[in-house]
Amino acid sequence: MTIQQLNYAIAVFRAGSINRAAQKLYIAQPNLSNAIKSLEDELNITLFQRTPRGMEPTRAGEKFILRAMELVAQFDAFSCAIGMVVAVVVS
């Protein structure tokens, strides 16, 4: 599991559809579908139900997405902090 996969799952959750999420992420829809399927296979859970209206999170998917949002926020904060440390050390 990668940060990129977490971001992809969050994007699908927010967009409610693979197509809309792929457009917002500027990636091809099949690539996004494959990334979500790969994540589901790795976790051995179904994150989203595919419906005629788009993608709806399963109960497990909702829990996963909430935790993924926390992890991505922590990762972004960590990356920012590291960037500040590097800037201080370099200057």
Among 13, 6, 12, 51, which residue's Cα sits nearest to residue 33?
A: 12
**Angstrom distance (rounded) from CA 66 to CA 81:** 23
pLDDT at 57 over 90: yes
Over residues 71-86, the pLDDT tens digits come to: 999 988 888 877 766 5
Who wins on pLDDT, 26 or 80?
26
Q: What local confidence, expressed as pLDDT, does residue 87 receive?
A: 61
- Please report the pLDDT score of residue 46 as a whole number: 97
What mean pLDDT do residues 60-79 have?
94
The pLDDT of residue 72 is 95
Q: What is the mean pLDDT of residues 31-56?
A: 95
